[in-house]
Structure 1
Amino acid sequence: MHKLTVAIDGPSGSGKSSVSKEAARRLDAAYLDTGAMYRAVTWHALDAGTDLTDADAVAAAVVAADLFISTDPDVEKVTIHGTDVTQAIREPFVSEAVSAVATNLAARKELVARQRTIIAAHPRIVAEGRDITTVVAPDASARILLTASEEARLRRRGLQLGGTQSAAELQAQVLARDAKDSTVVNFQVASDGVATVDSSELDFEQTVVTVLEAIKAQAS
Structure 2
Amino acid sequence: MTIRQDLLDTLAQVGKALGNGHRLALLERLAQGEAAVETLAETAGLTVGNASAHLQHLRRAGLVTARRAGKQMIYRLTDQRTVTLLSLMRDVAETNLAEMERLVSRLFADDNPDGALEAISRGELLSGLRHGSVALLDVRPEDEFESGHLPDAINIPLEQLEAMLDELPKDREIVAYCRGPYCVLSHEAVKKLRALGYQVRRFDEGFPEWKAAGLPVQ
Q: Aligning the two structures, in what range does the TM-score lie when normalised by the shorter sequence?
A: under 0.3
TM-score (norm 2): 0.27
TM-score (norm 1): 0.27
Higher RCO by CA contacts (8 Å cutoff, separation 6 or greater)? 1
